[in-house]
Structure 1
Amino acid sequence: MEHCFACETDYGYLGGSPHRGTCPACGSPAVTPAGELSVVETTAWESANGLSTIHVSATDTSARRFEFVIAARRGRGELVCLAIDGVEVPTDAMCSVPSAVAATVSAHGIGISEGASPHGPQ
Structure 2
Amino acid sequence: KDDLRGVFDEIGRLANEDQLGEMLAESEGPINFSTFLGMFAAKQSGEVDADEVVEKSFRAFEKQEGVIDCENFRNMLMAFGDKFSTQEVDDCLKAFDEFVDEDTGLMESNGLIELFVAKSS
TM bucket (normalised to shorter chain) is under 0.3
**TM-score w.r.t. length of structure 2:** 0.26
Higher strand share: 1
TM-score (norm 1): 0.26
